[in-house]
Amino acid sequence: MDPFDWGVIARSMDFLAAGMALSALLVVVATLGGVVGGAGLAALRRSPRRFLSAPAAGYVGVMRSVPLVLVLFWFYFLVPLAIGRPIGALTSALVAFVLFEAAFYCEIIRAGIANVRRGQSQAAAATGLRPWQALRLVILPQALRAMVPVLLNQIIIVFQDTSLVYVVALRDFMTSASVIASRDGRPIEMYTLVAVVYFAICFVGSYALQRRRKLNYR
Amino acid sequence: MNYQWDWGVLLREPYAGWLISGIGWTLLVSAGSWVVALAAGLLIGVARGLPNRLIRLAARCYVELFRNVPPLAQLFLWYFVFPEIVPKAVGLWIKRDMPEPELVTAVVAIGLFGGARVAEQVRAGIDAVGRHLLPAALATGLRPVQAYRLVLLPVGLRAIVGPLTSEFLVIFKMSSISLTIGVMDLTAESRHIENYTFHGFEAFAVATAVYLVLGLLISAAMSALDRRLRPAAIPT
C-alpha cells in the first residue's frame, strides 16, 4: 500500500461534512434540551418537598455514575420499545443525549445558584420580595453570570461526547471518518484528520473561553 | 409496552459468566488506566510548574493535546495509527506479539487521556501549597528535587484527594469505550446478553447497578483515604 494518500480526505469531503452536520445537530439538541431539562431538575432538587427533590437527586446521581456508552445502549434499546416500532438510531441518540446531559447541566445550574452568597437571598427577602421574585430578580441574574463560562465549557465537552454515537453506528463526524478509513483502507489519514479537526475546534473554543474569563476578572 | 420479564436469565450460564468476566475487564482497564494516568499526571503536573520554560511549554502542549481530542479518537489513533507510524519492527511486534493488544492499547489510551486531567489537578494542588512551602523548604536547605519529593508532593497531593476521586470515576466510566476495539467489558457484555436473549432491561439494569455500586465503593475508599491523611495535613 502507498505510504500516504491525503487525497482520500478531499474525495470524501461531502460525506465528512454531512457527518459534521450531524455532530452539530447532536450538540445543539443536547445543549438546548440539556439546559431546559437541567433547569427543571435543578428546580426539583431545590424543592423543600422530599418527594420532589429525592427522585431528582437520584436521577442525577445515576446518570452521572454510568458511562455514556451504556446510556446510549439503554435508549437504543428502550426508545423503540416505548414507541412500539423500530426507529432510527438518531432519535434514540438524541433522547439519550438530552436526558444524560440534563443531569450535568442540573449540577452546573445548582452550583451556580448555590454560589450566590446567602446574604443576597436574605436581603431580597428583607426588602419584601417573595421567594420566586427573589430567585428571578436577585439570585438568578448573579448566578447566570457565574454559570455562563461553565455552561459554554460544557458545550465543548458535549461536542467531544457526541463522538461516542459511534457505538450505535450513527454517522457523526467520527463515525463517518471511520467508515471511510475502513472502506478505503486509510486509517492513518482519516484518524489523523479526526484528531486534528476535533482538536482545532475544541482548543479554539476553550482558548476563547479562557481569554474571556480573564478579561472579565480584570 | 409488552415485554417478557425474566431476571433469572442473568443467573443462567453462559450469561452469568459473561457478566462476571465483563466486570473483571472493566476493573482491569480502569485500574490499569488509573496507574498510567496517575504516573503521567504526576510527571506533567510537576513539569507545568518548573522554572524551565521549554519543559513548561511541553507539559502545557501535552495537556492541551490530550484534553481537546475526544478519548474515542485518541483510542483509535493508538490502535489503528500508532503501530503504522513507528519503526517497522516495533509496529510488527505490536501487531503480532504484544500480549493482550486490546487491553494494553485501551490502558495506554485512556490512561494518557486521564493523565492530562490528573496533571491539571496536581498542578492546582502544588500551586495551592507551593507558594508558601517552596520558599520555606528551600530555606531549610533542601534541594529543589527534595523540596518537591519531601514537601510539595506529599502535602499537595493530600489537598487534591477529592478532585482525584472524581478523575478516577471519570476514568472508570471512560473504560467502557474500550469495547470499540474489542475489549469485552461490562457494558459490552450487557449488550452481548441483550443481543442473545432480547432481555435488554435486565442486562442493562444490572450493568447500571454494578457501575453505581462500584462507583460508590471507589468514592467510599477514596474518602476513607482522605480522612486517614487529613490529620497529618499541614494547614495552608
Whether A107 contacts chain B with CB within 8 A: no
- Measured CA distances, B16 to A28, A67, B61 (Å): 40, 21, 45
Q: Which residues of B touch A203 (CB under 8 A)?
A: 64, 68
User: Are the beta carbons of B76 and B147 closer than 8 angstroms?
Assistant: no
Whether A139 contacts chain B with CB within 8 A: no
What is the model's pLDDT at position B145?
A: 87
As averages over each run of 10 residues, the pLDDT of chain B (236 residues) reads 74 86 95 96 92 92 95 95 88 86 94 96 88 87 89 88 92 95 92 86 91 92 84 55
Q: E strand or H helix at A197, and its extent?
A: helix A187-217
What span, in angstroms and rounded, lies between the C-alpha atoms of A65 and B167? 12
ipTM (interface pTM):
0.89
Cell readout for A41 is 431538575
Whether A70 contacts chain B with CB within 8 A: yes
Q: Residue ranges per domain, chain A?
A: 8-217
**Dihedral (CA of A96, A97, A102, A108) sign:** positive
Q: Does domain B10-232 have CATH number 1.10.3720.10?
A: yes
Average pLDDT, chain A: 90
Whether A153 contacts chain B with CB within 8 A: no
Q: Which residue has cell 495537556?
A: B63
As its CATH architecture, domain A8-217 has Orthogonal Bundle (1.10)
DSSP-based three-state secondary structure for B14:
coil
DSSP-based three-state secondary structure for B223:
helix
- Which residue in A77, A187, A192 is closest to B204 by CB distance? A77
User: Are the beta carbons of A38 and A106 closer than 8 angstroms?
Assistant: yes
CB contact under 8 Å between B71 and A160, yes or no, is: yes
Side chain identity at residue B224, one-letter code? A
Q: Which residues of B touch A68 (CB under 8 A)?
A: 173, 176
- Which residue in A62, A174, A206 is closest to B72 by CB distance? A174
What is the DSSP annotation of B49-105? TSS-HHHHHHHHHHHHHHHSS-HHHHHHIIIIIHHHHS-HHHHHHHHHT-SSHHHHH
Whether A69 contacts chain B with CB within 8 A: yes
- Which residue in B180, B187, B216 is closest to A73 by CB distance? B187
What is the model's pLDDT at position A204?
A: 94
What span, in angstroms and rounded, lies between the C-alpha atoms of A189 and A4? 7
Chain centroid to CA B115: 7
How far off is chain A from B49, nearest CA to CA, in Å?
Answer: 19
What is the model's pLDDT at position B1?
A: 57
CB contact under 8 Å between B208 and A166, yes or no, is: no
**Residue A74: closest C-alpha in chain B:** B204
Q: Which of B15, B40, B115, B190 is nearest to A66 (CA)?
A: B190
CB contact under 8 Å between B212 and A62, yes or no, is: yes
Q: Which of B102, B83, B69, B101 is nearest to B181 (CA)?
A: B102
CB pairs under 8 A between A and B: 104
What is the model's pLDDT at position A85?
A: 81
What is the model's pLDDT at position B233?
A: 53
